[in-house]
Chain A
Amino acid sequence: MGKVLMKGNEAIGEAAIRAGCLNYFAYPITPQSEVAEYLSKRLPEVGGVFLQGESEVAVSYMIFGASACGARVFTTSSSPGISLMSEGISYITAAQCPAVFINIMRGGPGLGGILPSQADYFQSVKGGGHGDYRLLVMAPASVQEAVEMTMTAFPLAEKYRNPVMILGDGLIGQMMEPVEFPDHLKSEPSNKDGWATNGMDTRRSSTRNLVRTLYLVPEELNAHNLKLKAKYDRMIREEIRWETYNLDGDYRMLIVSYGTMSRVCRTVIDNFKAKGIEIGMVRPKTLFPFPKQAIYDAAAKASCRAAISVEMSMGQMVEDVELSVKGLKPVHWYGKCGGDVPTPEEVMEEVSKLMAS
């Protein structure tokens, strides 16, 4: 199959099917509703199921149920909807069930607006729901990358028996770009015999599987949390992904940016280069685990005077950039949050001001 022109939301839906996921539960919300629209037509053609829940709270528990039975399952929503799902997400992490959640972010807080935003960074990376849990969070910067991350998300969720979140801003869902789909992944979740509650006669194991989140004995709950922590530590060892841009030369400033915002920053870097000024960038592709070492190393370069986190939020990722840089160089923030994505000119002005100061 050659390239086709697809909207991010449609491409995400198609990618999930090709990753072998035939169960999709969702509730419509702008700017991600096209996923449901696309899959409501497409899933019946391939023997899959789309069910619209009566709310996002319901959807999160439909995901929990399907996942607990060992089925590949995913949902998509946008910011306020993910808030409603956060309770279910906490339970799913506690029960160690794999599932994929996709957040096509819009402006907040509250109803906010329907335009692009990255203001759910804290929600996805630091919590959202209650308790000590982490999501593996991936942030695509193009429709093609959204496809690849969606297809990777299912095996990763199963590897860790933990939800994976794909965090895309509204543009990722709404823009159209040429995409190519890798071949189908025909595999089934491979490790489910040891935990899925799918009935004794369907499994190769003779032990009873139990999906639960309640641990009333303090030692048991602590042991359970240590077990979860060990998984998150393994994610930090094995799953950090990032991309660098223009780090070979003697750059004066380091930009850290993710998602479509990083594409504006690429234009910024190209424009500065044309004027003889070098700026470098680290683009985290996973937000948890965060590429701390890569950012530290990039900031440590002698020519680099400071780092700046450029984000469509009011200073969220900048906290992780500060933790990464460990006080070695000053760390600044620039962002906008109304829905107008900062233009290359606006980012250039901010970077120029910092370089002059």
Chain B
Amino acid sequence: MVDLRLRGVVVIVGNYGSGKSEVAINLAAFHRQAGLRVRIADLDLVNPYFRSREAREALAEMGIEVVLPPDPYLQAELPVLSPMVAGIIRQPGELTILDVGGDNVGAMVLAALGDAFAAGAIPQVLQVVNPLRPATDTHAGCLKIRRQIEAAAMLSVTGLIGNANLIDETTPGEIADGYAFVQGLSEASGLPVVCITVAEELLPQVDASRFICPVLTIRRQLVPPWKKAGRL
């Protein structure tokens, strides 16, 4: 299996509910465990619940720097962007992951950071795709959202992350279908597949050797109160 190695600024975008935050959190944890200095910034200004900030304690315990708005505004529905974000885009260190809100609306915040992006290296902008979500169940749907996000963000998408899942009800068949879907999307768009995701509990049932891209293990963090988060 190919190694997953991300460096510099990595921007996670995608349609609403594609699983960006869960992917961003697990990408951060994976690279931290590989020994990198990792930062994650929650730029979700549109979603009121289930944002990556909810995993802040688990991430901080691993030694990941979590960049968030100041505490009193954490649960506010105000578009509060930490003033630190522009600075870390200019000086990303080994790996800085930006978890952006959904759709073009959520990606608009990136345009506001245009000066910071222009000053640094070209960022990797990864589109998370779950074909089991209604708006992205076709390649055309994924490409439409890609265009809308690029227009709003004023950045180009540079890669794909296949995140096919039905949360607890995902089957190995859906992982295989999701893999084929994102490979097809890669051919249609010319974008490389950076990785696909598989939930930790499903991993034993999946033959990862048949995938030509890296597999990111997902240990779910953004769970409802009656469920336990996975151990990062």
Contacts and interface: CB of A to CB of B under 8 A. Distances in A.
Interface of A: 3-7, 10, 14, 30-31, 34, 113-116, 170-171, 174-178, 260, 263-264, 266-267, 339, 341-344
A9 B161 CA distance: 25
Given A171-B224, A267-B226, A344-B226, A5 B48 contact: no
Chain B facing A: main interface SS: loop
Contact of A5 (B49, B130, B224): B130
Contact of A174 (B49, B75, B167, B226): B49
A157 B126 CA distance: 46
* Chain B interface size range: 20 to 34
Interface of B: 16-17, 48-50, 75, 77, 130, 132-134, 137, 165-169, 224-227
Contact of A178 (B137, B169, B226): B169
Given A31-B48, A266-B226, A339 B75 contact: yes
Given A115-B75, A266-B226, A267-B226, A174 B17 contact: no
14 contacts: A3-B132, A5-B17, A6-B133, A30-B77, A31-B49, A113-B75, A116-B49, A176-B17, A176-B167, A178-B168, A178-B169, A260-B224, A267-B227, A341-B225
Given A5-B132, A31-B49, A114 B226 contact: no
B44 to A, nearest CB: 13
B134 A175 contact: no
Given A115-B75, A178-B169, A30 B48 contact: yes
Contacts of B49: 31, 115-116, 170-171, 174-175
Given A31-B49, A170-B49, A4 B226 contact: no
B75 A114 contact: yes
Given A30-B48, A264-B225, A341-B225, 5 more contacts: A114-B48, A116-B49, A264-B226, A266-B226, A339-B75
Given A3-B132, A170-B49, A264-B225, A178 B77 contact: no
Contacts of A5: 17, 130, 132-133, 165-167
A177 B226 CA distance: 14
A336 to B, nearest CB: 11
Contacts of A344: 225-226
Rank and list the top 3 A-B pairs by shortest CB-CB distance, nearest first.
A178-B166, A341-B225, A174-B49
Contacts of B16: 7, 34
Contacts of A343: 225
A113 B225 CA distance: 18
A49 to B, nearest CB: 21
B23 to A, nearest CB: 14
Given A7-B17, A171-B224, A339-B75, A178 B167 contact: yes
A97 to B, nearest CB: 32
Contacts of A115: 48-49, 75
A308 to B, nearest CB: 17
A176 B137 CA distance: 16
A341 B132 CA distance: 28
B102 to A, nearest CB: 10
Contacts of B167: 5, 176-178
B117 to A, nearest CB: 27
